[in-house]
Amino acid sequence: MTYRITFAVGGRARFLSHLETVDTLLGALRRAGYDIALSKGMKPRPVISLAMPRAVGVQALADLADVQLVDDPDPAELAGRLDAQLPHGMTVVGVEPAEGRTAAARVEATAYEVEVEDDVDWPRALAAFAAAESCEVVRTAPGKADRRIDVRTYCSSIEHEPGLLRMELRMTEAGTARPEEIAQAVAGLIGRTANIKRLVRTRICLRDQPVGART
């Protein structure tokens, strides 16, 4: 049976990479006594997928992993036993049976809290952002050509409170924007640079929710 595990990553565990997070979940499930289903084919691999990779250093309050087990344990029991095996900083928020397409294929939006220094006039910058037709940033990646991205199209909401930017980002066919790109783009509109202290992913929203499922 396939389960959707909602889990939080904080403390020092936020420095785990995406791959390390996956391996940590798999190891904890095995130590908890569960057999993970293997994929078919020449090189069978455990059937697990995370809804969204998490950048190193980013904290997450409710990330999602779909994992297929050989047996079908009670979700509450699975949650308890898995939580006991996770390293400090990782906790299970909830477990429910999952059906249909994986969470990774159904991500509609993500919500972030970006801890920032208030040395930028955020209300003015956000007003400029709201008024702007488009707002481009340059995305650089090692070994790839720089890309210009209009982050405005991905940001469905953004607000400021002291020390914090809350934003919701859309996932589209063309991808999405990173929260730090939004913060820099907004600050850039009034000629400033955002001083980001911490990133927290608070939610991953899925489309086509089955009836009764939580977001």
Partner 1 sequence: MGKALLEDRIEAVLETVQKPSRYIGGEANQVRKPQATALVALCYPDAYEIGISNQALQILYQQINRRESIAAERVYCPWPDMADAMRRQGLPLFTLESWRPVREADLLGITLQAELTYSNVLEVLDLAGIPLRATDRGEDDPIVVAGGPSASNPAPLAPFFDAVFMGESERAFEAVLDVIATVPGRAARLAALAENPYLYLPGRGRHPVERAVYADFGIETHPTRVVVPYSSAIFSRASVEVMRGCTRGCRFCHAGTWYRPVRERSPDEVAEAGLAQLGCTGYDELSLTSLATSDYTGIVPAIEKIKTRLPTLHLSLPSNRVDTGPVALTAAANARQSSITLAPEAATQRMRDIICKTITDEMIERAIEAAFQAGYTSLKMYFMIGLPRETHAEVQGIVDLGIRAREIGRRVRPGGGRFSVHVSVSNFVPKPHTPFQWEGMSSRAQLDAKQAYMRRAMPTRQIRLSLHDLRTSMLEGALARGGEELADVIERAWRAGARFDAWSEMYQEAAWEAAFAACGSSIDEQATREFGEWDELPWDHVRSGVSKEFLLDEWGQSRAEVATGDCRWDGCTDCGACFGPVRNRLVS
Residues that bind partner 1 (CB under 8 A): 12-13, 15-17, 19-20, 22-24, 26-31, 56-57, 85, 87-89
The distance of closest approach from Cβ of residue 27 to partner 1 in the complex, given in angstroms and rounded to an integer, is 4
Structure tokens at 123: 């209300």
Specify the residue, 70 or 213, whose C-beta has the smaller distance to partner 1: 70
Specify the residue, 11 or 94, whose C-beta has the smaller distance to partner 1: 11
CA torsion sign for 187, 198, 119, 162 is positive
The distance of closest approach from Cβ of residue 19 to partner 1 in the complex, given in angstroms and rounded to an integer, is 5
Specify the residue, 150 or 180, whose C-beta has the smaller distance to partner 1: 180
Tell me how crowded residue 102 is: count the other CB atoms within 10 A of its CB: 20
The distance of closest approach from Cβ of residue 84 to partner 1 in the complex, given in angstroms and rounded to an integer, is 11
Convert 141-179 to b/e letters by CB count within 10 Å (16 or more is b).
eeeeeeeebebbebbeebebeeebbbbbbbbeeeebbbb
Residue length of the chain: 215
Alpha carbons 182 and 49: distance in angstroms, whole number: 27
**Nearest-5° angle of CA 16, CA 18, CA 20?**
55
Alpha helices, DSSP H only, in 74-194? 75-85, 122-131, 179-188
The distance of closest approach from Cβ of residue 194 to partner 1 in the complex, given in angstroms and rounded to an integer, is 15
Q: Which candidate, 102, 19, 11, 109, places its Cα nearest to that of 61?
A: 11
Specify the residue, 9 or 155, whose C-beta has the smaller distance to partner 1: 9
The distance of closest approach from Cβ of residue 12 to partner 1 in the complex, given in angstroms and rounded to an integer, is 4
Specify the residue, 2 or 24, whose C-beta has the smaller distance to partner 1: 24
The distance of closest approach from Cβ of residue 75 to partner 1 in the complex, given in angstroms and rounded to an integer, is 20
Are the C-beta atoms of residues 32 and 184 closer than 8 Å to each other? no
Specify the residue, 86 or 126, whose C-beta has the smaller distance to partner 1: 86
First to last CA, the chain: 20
